[in-house]
Amino acid sequence: MTALLEIVGARKAFGGVRAVDDCSLTVEEGSITALIGPNGSGKTTLFNLITGYLKADGGEFRFRGRDVTGSDPGRLYRQGLTRTFQQARVFPHMTVTENLVVAGGYSWRDLLVPRVLGRDRSRADVLLEEFRMTHVAELPASELSYGQRKLLEFAAVLMSEPRLVLLDEPTAGVNPVMIDTMERHIRERHAAGVTFLVVEHDMQFVMRLCDPVVVLDNGKEIFSGPPSEVQQNPLVLDAYLGT
Amino acid sequence: MSIRSLVRGGVFVAALMALPLLGFEHWVLNLMIFTLMYAAMSSAWNLVGGFAGYPSLGHAAFFGLGAYFVGLWFQHHAVVTGYEPFLVLPIAGLIAAVVGFPIAWIAMRTRADVFAIVTITLLFVAQTLAFNLDSLTGGAQGLAMPTPPFELARFEWPFYYAMLWILLASMGITYLSMRSKVGLSLDAIRADEDKALGVGVHVQGVKVLSFSISVALVAMAGGVWAYYETFTYPQFAFDPIITIGMVLMCFLGGRGTLWGPVIGAFILVPGQQYLAYRLGGSQFYLIAYAGVFLLIMLLMPRGILPTIADRVRRRRAIAASSEGPPPADASPPTAGPGSNVPVPSGGAA
């Protein structure tokens, strides 16, 4: 396997707090890598650094072998690196179909073409079918349940055919049936060749789905390995339980 | 384009085209010129303030820019037929767009209230420059334009039609952008700009472009105004009341809709004139004006059009559910309820 995403020595401080402190991390192509750690360990900050929402104080970020340090989120998106947000951010006043089409990655030349072209619609329909959301295609996203919005956000980032998707707590706040649905969609997309980096607090979900598991504590990677080993590692136990 | 919106647009354009032919008195046409001017500017402001969600308070700076451009141009060029000032309007628009581009590029790094403050600063900087660049602008003395050589009976006509064309241009651009991916991008930017950036929307480009086009239209209206008034003074060309007028009319009619700013202008401009007439020459009318506005904001905080559209939609939904079987909320195998559920986007188009 080759490294799809490589982070070397990433640093980010907020005032005196070193949220991410000399952190190095590799996501292998074709993996579903979990990123776990206690609250305040820097997971969300690291996500924001990787996706360009925050600028790192130092360190190097490589995606698909290219240096992408300092790229903005739009540019990374067009290169195949995308994310979802913990709070399921969709565009509430736009229809479900429009939410997908707007994420379809159109170029400058396409700005004057109609909002939703025939080919946009057929691409969106394929995804809606896959996510079993065809019946809500023309509803405004504000009328969806929270779980459906999470699915919609996930489906929308797939419109650009990404190589790496970062999922920020995909199961937080959704019911058990929806957790299974989410897991199934991640597996299907993984089988189709998408790599995932997942921040998640639901350990059963992580153990079922992810390999390897990366543990972060105080802004540093303290463990990286298969899920079977993570529960026995003394450093990890120490980070979670404290001494 | 649906038949209904085509008919609505056609009737609107035909009625406004025909209006001067009906032999109204000068004061009516004068009022109509200002109504159309504010409708055009409010509609243009809507591109930035309504669709992109950036509440600019600096648009009057570009109104003044257009006014001064036309004023200065005819310090050096003669007016013979009387129509020359209208011909240079596109240049005024182009200059405003070019000046507006870098300003928007920087100012639009801020959002919401901070953006409003940054842009209102721009307005006062522009006014101060107009006052103090004596050799160019004539300072507080103002700039005089040649008197328009139109026959008295039809004196207002050219100004009326010029304002009408700018209004139609504003509405046409609004309509096209709503229907295209520009509108889709602006909707996403207004709803959640960071998210939009993360799904590859050309955020910076689209919002800066909409600002440029918006201020170009406003500058052209300023150019017509300068010629109509024949005198351009810094305190009137760069007047905060002009900015506030555009914003209020757009809020009143409904932000982010095609007809909202037009409705707002057609209510507020004559309303303001009426109040000024009833309450005399003092500034009392401004208080009454504010009172009317407060009342409407209290009753319809999103503006007239979205509120009415909502009510119509709710009534239709109730009517639909009381008739046939209730729409299934699970996942029906056939077309499903999605096909006949009214969608808010374009509801006012």
Asked if residue A82 and residue A12 are part of one domain, the reply reads yes
User: Lowest-confidence range among A103-112, B200-209, B335-344?
Assistant: B335-344
Subunit contact B179:A83, Cβ cutoff 8 A: no
Q: Which domain holds residue B128?
A: 26-239
Interface of B with A in 159-218 (CB under 8 A): 176, 179-185, 187-188, 191-192, 194-203, 205-206
The answer to whether position B15 is within a domain reads no
The answer to whether position B210 is within a domain reads yes
Residue A143 reports pLDDT greater than 90: yes
Residues of A with Cβ-Cβ distance to B331 under 8 angstroms: 132, 134-135
Specify the number of domains making up chain A: 2
Whether chain B has a CB inside 8 Å of the CB on A208: the answer is no
pLDDT, residue B1, reads 64
Q: Shortest Cα distance from B113 to chain A (angstroms)?
A: 22
Subunit contact B200:A83, Cβ cutoff 8 A: no
The answer to whether position A150 is within a domain reads no
pLDDT, residue B280, reads 73
Asked if residue A235 and residue A179 are part of one domain, the reply reads yes
pLDDT, residue B97, reads 97
Statement: the pTM of the whole predicted model exceeds 0.80:
yes
| Count of beta carbons in the 10 Å neighbourhood of residue A103 | 27
| Count of beta carbons in the 10 Å neighbourhood of residue A33 | 22
CB A68 within 8 A of CB A61: yes
Give percent helix, percent strand, percent coil of chain A, each to the nearest 5.
40, 25, 35
The answer to whether position B153 is within a domain reads yes
Which whole-number Å values give the CA distances from B263 to A22, A227, A228, B257, in the listed order? 58, 63, 67, 10
Residues of A with Cβ-Cβ distance to B180 under 8 angstroms: 111-115
The answer to whether position A148 is within a domain reads no
Asked if residue A62 and residue A19 are part of one domain, the reply reads yes
The answer to whether position B349 is within a domain reads no
Q: Which of A143, A176, A204 corresponds to the end of one domain?
A: A143
Asked if residue A209 and residue A198 are part of one domain, the reply reads yes
Asked if residue A117 and residue A75 are part of one domain, the reply reads no
pLDDT, residue B338, reads 38
Band the pLDDT of B324: cuts 50, 70, 90: low
The answer to whether position B14 is within a domain reads no
Asked if residue A74 and residue A105 are part of one domain, the reply reads no
Band the pLDDT of B342: cuts 50, 70, 90: very low
pLDDT digits (tens, 9 = 90+) for A25-48: 999 999 999 999 988 889 999 999
Q: Shortest Cα distance from B50 to chain A (angstroms)?
A: 14
Subunit contact B201:A53, Cβ cutoff 8 A: no
Asked if residue A124 and residue A112 are part of one domain, the reply reads yes
Subunit contact B184:A51, Cβ cutoff 8 A: no
Asked if residue A224 and residue A130 are part of one domain, the reply reads no
Interface test with A, best of B184, B201, B255, B334 (most A CBs within 10 A): B184
Average pLDDT over residues B110-116: 92
Residue B286 reports pLDDT greater than 70: yes
Q: Shortest Cα distance from B288 to chain A (angstroms)?
A: 35
The answer to whether position A214 is within a domain reads yes
Residue B281 reports pLDDT greater than 70: no
Specify the number of domains making up chain B: 1
Give the Cα-Cα-Cα angle B315, B300, B206 (nearest 5 degrees): 95
CB B253 within 8 A of CB B305: yes
ipTM (interface predicted TM): 0.90
Which whole-number Å values give the CA distances from A224 to A42, A60, A205, A208, A229, in the listed order? 16, 19, 17, 16, 9
Give the Cα-Cα-Cα angle B144, B150, B151 (nearest 5 degrees): 135
Strand order in the sheet with A58-63: A17-28, A3-14, A58-63, A66-67
Asked if residue A172 and residue A194 are part of one domain, the reply reads yes
pLDDT digits (tens, 9 = 90+) for B122-151: 999 999 999 999 888 888 888 998 899 999
Closest Cα to residue A34, out of A169, A212, A193?
A: A212
Band the pLDDT of A1: cuts 50, 70, 90: low
Asked if residue A186 and residue A133 are part of one domain, the reply reads no
The answer to whether position A207 is within a domain reads yes
Average pLDDT over residues A132-156: 94
Subunit contact A113:B198, Cβ cutoff 8 A: no
Asked if residue A20 and residue A82 are part of one domain, the reply reads yes
pLDDT digits (tens, 9 = 90+) for B195-233: 999 999 999 999 999 999 999 999 999 999 999 999 999
What average pLDDT does the structure give for chain B? Answer: 88
Residue A62 reports pLDDT greater than 90: yes
pLDDT, residue A213, reads 93
Residue B296 reports pLDDT greater than 80: no
Residue A101 reports pLDDT greater than 70: yes
User: Lowest-confidence range among A40-44, A115-119, B199-203, B281-285?
Assistant: B281-285
Chain B residue with minimum CA distance to A95:
B343
Interface of A with B in 41-60 (CB under 8 A): 51, 53
Average pLDDT over residues B322-344: 44
Asked if residue A60 and residue A103 are part of one domain, the reply reads no
Average pLDDT over residues B4-31: 93
Q: Which domain holds residue A77?
A: 3-90+155-241
Residue B337 reports pLDDT greater than 50: no
The tokens for A76 are 């990374």
The answer to whether position A222 is within a domain reads yes
CB B70 within 8 A of CB B85: yes
The answer to whether position B2 is within a domain reads no
Q: What is the C-alpha to C-alpha distance for residues A161 and A82, in angstroms, rounded to an integer?
A: 10
The answer to whether position B301 is within a domain reads no
Whether chain B has a CB inside 8 Å of the CB on A135: the answer is yes
Q: Is the peptide bond before B344 cis (omega within 30 degrees of 0)?
A: no
Band the pLDDT of A68: cuts 50, 70, 90: very high
The answer to whether position B108 is within a domain reads yes
CATH number of A209's domain: 3.40.50.300
Q: Shortest Cα distance from A141 to chain B (angstroms)?
A: 11
Residues of B with Cβ-Cβ distance to A134 under 8 angstroms: 331, 336
